[in-house]
Structure 1
């Protein structure tokens, strides 16, 4: 491995020489215009509300501490959650109450507009497989993956968990509008689907098998619809247990950093379309209606899926943040969720950005517990079980404990579970805390310098400029592959899927000196880069890695991306911790586009999703900057064509001091 990394480094030197040659030639023809930079962001910002008159000598200054805002709400003061500080995980289980479960034939709920929603009811059963005639709490699941097809193959796609049913729970699985055996038009997570959720929950709570208490559950799309259902505030809902739920459709996945996901999204939409054209249960009951339903699904794909993706790629209205995306970003509705909610996320998940944000959004008005594991998307469903570990149980046992407490009224101790549980890479174990972001987080700004180092001190040299080639195809093999392909590549024995070494060949790389003590980072990360380009636009990808001196492996911890022309930040919605902005809120609005002037330096803030890692003593912290990651995103065509074959300069000098703000937490807080 060390030899291979040396080869990568040698190739990287060659690429750097080429990029530098092109960059110098570009600057010779078009010199860098002198710009007076605004460096006020380097000074910790006072709290504008609580700070006294800072002009008085010796007056203490309260620093700005805010949560991340939303489209509808500016940042609010951060109120740390300090309760439950001594919480520990506990194993919970109880024996099955019934020997079997049985799924009834498909039935349909008629919505307010006549649309028919297919549902599948699973009930506890006796030894003969006959349903038990009793009332049970109901777990409601809403899927887009066809409960009558994929749901019969795997419960994570939309099927009942037989172990929960045997423990006295009924389950209702519904195909959301326009998918599976349901009629209507699919418009993922839109207002109509949100209104349907209320009616599905209402129907489920009033059936003869229901005791009137409803819990919401699901993985991925099903986890998102669980949150969507919780936001309806139907009185029957008592708790929710979403696994890897999205929070912001635009920022999490579709247009991460303003760049279109051209890998996962087309495959995902195609899968839903394919499964929807197989309405098996409808075909069995009424072949003619079944064929017409399948035809409607095909037509629907030409009215929603295909136009949405095509127009986004062309850079039309939905390539920017607008009402369409706000409607589908459920963090905007977090204040409507009032029931106890258990959030499960993953450090390599598609929705890595939003999962801890759910904790922050809910903690002020309901009971919330957050569990972040070391997994990608499908691994969160425990297809490749990594639990139990120590005293942390399997997710299905946690789900049982959660629903037993809030749906059955059993005192399981669910409310005393740790508030936040996170897998810490490098520590290789789960760590509990009272809140997210961590209450002891200290923003730690490290500067990029001309020698390729990361340092605490701001550069003093007037020179310092690294050159990057602009191309949209870098990052073919990187840690992003596993994240975007939902963990499907985790079994492949390719080191480049976990380490940054190969992906760093076209990058500018900056390393800290070997650490003299362990470094614990936990939270969101922000890179503040001074750049210029010979083109009107450019992409920027920033990776944070842990470099092992024994092998030279640079293990990727988190990756951020931004389109330079979409760099506009709304400071009133950004996160500040102890006066430092550490999570920018980019507006991504069409009206805020800022094309680059040739070779003119500008400040670009890059949001890097939160992670948790212990970088051991002797290792190095690495920041690498490259112009693209083809798996992370591709700029819409107008931006892409204006950035091809350009040259990017990354400045690291006294006038334009590029830096990164890391979320440092004292290692004393590493506790199980």
Structure 2
């Protein structure tokens, strides 16, 4: 008991100092009118309570013992109700005991009691090398992915299981669902991943080729710090607990520290390759066959990746749906505001999904939920779509850049250049700090701690004061956008290198600026893989760069080269009277930092060229709709 209290106190300290924060996060002041509610009504609880068994031993095929907490339906006296239940599994790297603390409210996603009281069992398992589980953490390495399938097989064969399983949870727990489902374990019927990554290098580790120093160190610190909490299992199995703690502490020197230093040093981990390919769900998602419900955020860490998973699942005929809302990572993880999409709260949606696909309960109205439900910035309305970048109703709209823009003097967007126009981009090392990008790439932590005020979150004017801007005239009719965007910029610099940080924003008639999305690209890593890039009407809308060490090719000083900047996808509609803005900067702080080899080349001004010879443009996927 004393050890459990000590563990609880240590948990609160670690979580308060890292990322696990109390309470759900608000919608940053965005008013969202509710959509029409579906006809489905959630059923009431079948059981009055729940009871939890802690640190069950789950043996892996290599002899390592993982640990899981099992929550079962209970009567009014707290006694477990006899029976066999469908099991919902969550695999976490953040210490299941820590996540059970009130200080971690929302990080785990939906509260387990909701489903358990309606006839499910909840099994929450510490991933290898975390929490109370033995082994060394390796962040979705081959062995951990194998564990995920073995955990699901184990859960389906226990005395309290009826043989049917499902999975739930956000972020790391969502990614684990894809890897587990790809092993096709017997009994798995459905999954519900919130904000999972697809391609971890491009989604978050090194967007555009620079290293993410906002989220990645924070995340590595979270897992390492949570792993340093004395394992709760020590009270009942001292040998396993001591072994696990020693293995966890060794991870800092064997995996976490070397990986971070390697990336910042510009060595192997700074480039895409086998290490990231192994850890990217997009490379195994084609093996997933079970119905999947995805939750994505327009300001999320995995804003780019989650829709790619949806697309691949849909292409293979897997029953799949996705809700994309105006949320950062913490908000989407907690399901905060999900009910505004019109399909119920996070708990209700999971109940509906699992009741139908796991328990086999009829639900004809489930088909009435569109494949995609997304929040349209600009109108603040929820819209639906059948496909991600649907070529039947989406067009490529190319807007040319023109004018000799400079900070404080915008060029034009959508007007053909009349001469050899040049725009200077100054190297301002604090660019990006006062913007929604800061909050997005710290997973929503800054807004949660109220360290980023409303002027920076809701109005990008301060940040754009040092940016090079291009703007359309006021719109005469709405311009709906849905999907990824390409900024094809012809640039030069004195060093032949540099980083382009691009923002796409909505400028209201009163001059306020709402950042919709952004993209990043290092000039020396501009090599384009045309076979893997996405085209719409013959134009690139989602460029794919190799980001390998072999693809690095700085330009000559002063040489003008084309650079396709992948601007992460969004859903928006620029309203009549509003202007569409493209901003270009050379830094995005605290999101990205150059590696040591890149550093000398990025401390330079950039020049964006616009002419018939150098036709810089912004290519948008614009949607035909009323």
Both structures adopt the same fold (TM-score exceeding 0.5):
yes
Shift of 1:396: 1.4
* Residue aligning to 2:61: 112
TM-score (norm 1): 0.83
Give 1:447's aligned residue.
400
| Residues 466 and 650 in structure 1, CA contact (< 8 A), matched pair in contact too | yes
**Bigger shift: 613-622 or 465-474?**
465-474
* Alpha-carbon distance change, 593 to 321 in structure 1, aligned in 2, over 3 angstroms: same
Partner of 1:664: 622
1:333 aligned onto 2:284? yes
- Counterpart pick for 2:196 among 220, 245, 265: 245
The C-alpha deviation readout for 1:173-221, integer Å capped at 9, x for no partner, is 1100000000111010111100001110011000111111111111111
Q: Does 1:631 align with 2:593?
A: no
CA distance in 1, matches of 2:490, 2:341: 45
Q: How does 1:301-320 map to 2 (within 5 A)?
A: 301-320=252-271
Among residues 340, 358, 371, which one is paired with 1:389 in the alignment?
Answer: 340
Q: Name the residue aligned to 2:81.
A: 132
Q: In the alignment, does 2:99 pair up with 1:150?
A: yes
Question: What are the residue-to-residue correspondences of 1:336-351 with 2, within 5 Å?
Answer: 336-351=287-302
> Which residue does the alignment assign to 2:489?
529
Is the 8 Å Cα contact of residues 300 and 327 (structure 2) preserved in structure 1? yes
* Structure-2 residue corresponding to 1:163: 114
Aligned to 2:593, the other structure's residue is in SS state coil
Partner of 2:540: 581
- Give the match's secondary structure for 1:230: helix
Alignment partner, residue 216 of structure 1? 167
Flag the 1:90–1:220 CA change in 2: closer, same or farther, 3 A.
farther
RMSD: 1.7
Partner of 1:61: none
Pick one of 550, 554, 557 that aligns with 1:595: 554
- Report the Cα distance in structure 1 between the residues aligned to 2:437 and 2:198, rounded to whole angstroms: 19
Gaps in structure 1 of 5+ consecutive residues: 1-86
5 Å matches for 1:87-486? Answer: 89-153=38-102, 154=104, 156-158=106-108, 161-287=112-238, 289-365=240-316, 366-382=318-334, 385-389=336-340, 391-413=342-364, 414-438=366-390, 439-450=392-403, 452-461=410-419, 463-486=420-443
**Cα deviation code 1:437-495 (max 9, x no counterpart):** 1341111100110154434443231x211112235442221111111122233354331
Of 618-627 and 270-279, more deviation after overlay is shown by 270-279
Q: What's the offset of the Cα at 1:91?
A: 3.9
The aligned counterpart of 1:653 is 611
Counterpart Cα distance in 1 of 2:333 and 2:135? 29
In 2, the alpha carbon distance for the partners of 1:220 and 1:346 equals 11
3-state secondary structure, aligned to 1:312: helix
8 Å contact kept, 2:91–2:124: yes
How many Å separate the matches in 1 of 2:240 and 2:105? 27
- In the alignment of these two chains, the number of paired residues is 578
C-alpha displacement at 1:408, in angstroms?
A: 0.5
Does structure 1 retain, via aligned residues, the 8 Å contact 2:211–2:595?
yes
Give the structure 1 partner of residue 25 of structure 2. Answer: none
Distance in 2 (alpha carbons) for counterparts of 1:526 and 1:499: 23
| Cα distance in 2, alignment partners of residues 591 and 519 from structure 1 | 40
Does the 8 A contact of 1:106 with 1:119 survive in 2? yes
Q: Cα offset for 1:434?
A: 1.2
Distance verdict in 2 for CA 1:489–1:530, change over 3 Å = same
Deviations 1:136-164 (A, max 9, x none): 11101100011122234346545861010
